[in-house]
Amino acid sequence: MILSIILRTAEGLSDREGDPSAFRGCGVPRLPRRCRSEPRCRLMALLRWQRFAGVPHRGMMAAPPDQHGSAMLSYRHAFHAGNFADVLKHAVYVTVLRYVTIKAKPLYVLDTHAGAGVYDLGSPEAAKTREHRAGIERVLAAPGSWPDLLAPYLELVRAFNPPGRLAVYPGSPALARAILRPQDRLELVELHPTDHAALAARFARAERARVVRADGLAHLVARMPPPERRGVVLLDPSYEIKTDYEAVARAIAKAHRRFATGTYLLWYPVIERTRVEALLAALRATGIRAQYRIELCLLPDSPGRGMTGSGLVAINPPWMLPAMVEAGLPWLKQRLSAEGPCEAGWLVPE
């Protein structure tokens, strides 16, 4: 009965036998009458209704495009904050920001997929997955001294928490804000309405920090070059839409043509190795020099396992980053008990 109602709604029919007029103008996609009896078309109708009604579906958008012109996606980083991928990504991000702020000249930092800013590790979302326990919690509890790659980042995470407790995880906006100086400028982009609202509230009184609700990749291209002529860009898309792999390479190529001296940090998940290799090939094909790749996988590559690892491509990295990564990555691999690929090296040399 429920399925019948859904299908009738998706086909644009009302309870007035065969009269679709009641649904005209409401945005529900309709199917041609000639195919309404075919199973394949009826399945298409169900999927179309899911999109219209905002029902999440794996690999699909959870709602129609909003007023900002982009599809609203279901990804929320609150479920994954502080996981192993965050540890590597944010350790590198903090290392880069600390280095580029040594010079007194103003700096522009753009975070294209900023999330909510800070995450409560006691929230229902974090409690559902508990990914932070195998990530930041395990790394913070390591005995002895931390490698130079991780020490400044871990000290910042500690500073956000009560002594001896891990209650919150600072995302990339909070980490950047803690490092940047009064002369620097921070721009945070987030499209998801819930995370954008949380981010905007958190940074409402922050000086020289701007929160924008927009498509991160389009905003990146539009903002290049920054007036400061010095900049760091963090790109951290969710890759919910498979075309993100191609789109991110195109956006970086366009941004680099406008601002070739900036430092770009691109995060990517390892879910399907073929998609990772295609992304790396697309980045090589841009002709951009000085691309340094870092990757750490908890598990060997295997289809159907979900995200087994993650990586970063740093374009125009600070000169000391490769040595710090090559010294710290083996320590991190051991601490996380990672069994998959772990490597660092030049994707494209300088």
Are 83 and 29 contained in the same domain? Answer: no
Q: Is 172 annotated as a binding residue?
A: yes
Across residues 316-321, what is the average pLDDT?
A: 98
Q: Is 86 annotated as a binding residue?
A: no
Are 29 and 115 in the same domain?
A: no
Is 260 a member of any domain? yes
Query: How many structural domains does the chain have?
Result: 2
C-alpha to C-alpha distance for 248 and 123, rounded to whole angstroms: 31
Q: Are 86 and 310 in contact (CB under 8 A)?
A: no
Residues 29 and 104 in one domain: no
Q: Does the residue 46 lie in any domain?
A: yes
Tell whether 264 and 320 lie within a shared domain: yes
**Structural domain that includes position 319:** 77-348
Task: Let me know if residue 113 belongs to a domain.
Answer: yes
Residues 130 and 181 in one domain: yes
State residue 16's pLDDT score. 35
**What is the structure's pLDDT at 52?**
34
pLDDT band at 74 (very low <50, low <70, confident <90, very high): low
Tell me: do 144 and 38 sit in the same domain.
no
The pLDDT value recorded for residue 48 is: 42
Q: For residue 149, give Cα distances in angstroms to 14, 102, 323.
A: 62, 17, 9
Asked if 158 and 89 sit in the same domain, the reply is yes
* DSSP letter (8 states) at residue 92: H
Residues 266 and 309 reside in one and the same domain: yes
Is 15 labeled as ligand-binding? no
Quote the pLDDT of residue 125: 86
Residue-wise pLDDT for 154-183, tens only, equals 999 999 999 999 999 999 999 999 999 999
Shared domain check, 294 and 247? yes
pTM of the predicted model as reported, rounded to 2 decimal places:
0.80
For residue 240, is it within any domain? yes
Backbone φ and ψ of 65, nearest 5°: -55, 140
User: 303-342 burial, b if ≥16 CB within 10 A, otherwise e?
Assistant: eeeebbbbbbbbbbbbeebbebbeebbebbbebbebebbb
136: in domain: yes
Is 122 part of a structural domain of the chain? yes
**CA-to-CA dists, residue 55 to 25, 96, 99, 239, 284, angstroms:** 20, 40, 44, 19, 38
The span from the CA of 87 to the CA of 174, in Å, is 14
Strand locations in the chain (E): 108-111, 118-120, 168-170, 185-189, 209-212, 231-235, 263-270, 291-297, 309-315, 342-348
Which of these ranges, 20-29, 86-95, 324-333, has the smallest mean pLDDT? 20-29
User: Does the annotation list 190 as a binding residue?
Assistant: yes
Hunting for tokens 């794996």 — which residue is that? 58
Contact between 180 and 59 under an 8 Å Cβ cutoff? The reply is: no
Q: How confident is the model at residue 80 (pLDDT cuts 50, 70, 90)?
A: confident
Q: pLDDT of 275-291, one tens digit each?
A: 999 999 999 999 999 99
Spatial CA neighbour of 206 closest among 71, 109, 278: 109
Domain membership of residue 64 (yes or no) is no
Are residues 170 and 128 both part of a single domain?
yes
- Tokens at residue 58, please? 């794996």
Question: 44 with 181, same domain?
Answer: no
CATH of the domain at 338: 3.40.50.150
Q: What DSSP state is assigned to residue 13? A: -
Say yes or no: 18 and 95 in one domain: no
Catalytic residue positions, numbered: 236
Give domain status of residue 59, yes or no.
no
- Between CA 324 and CA 331, with CA 328 as vertex, the angle to 5 degrees is 170
Q: Is 115 annotated as a binding residue?
A: no
Q: What is the dihedral of CA 281, 282, 283, 289, to 10 degrees?
A: 80
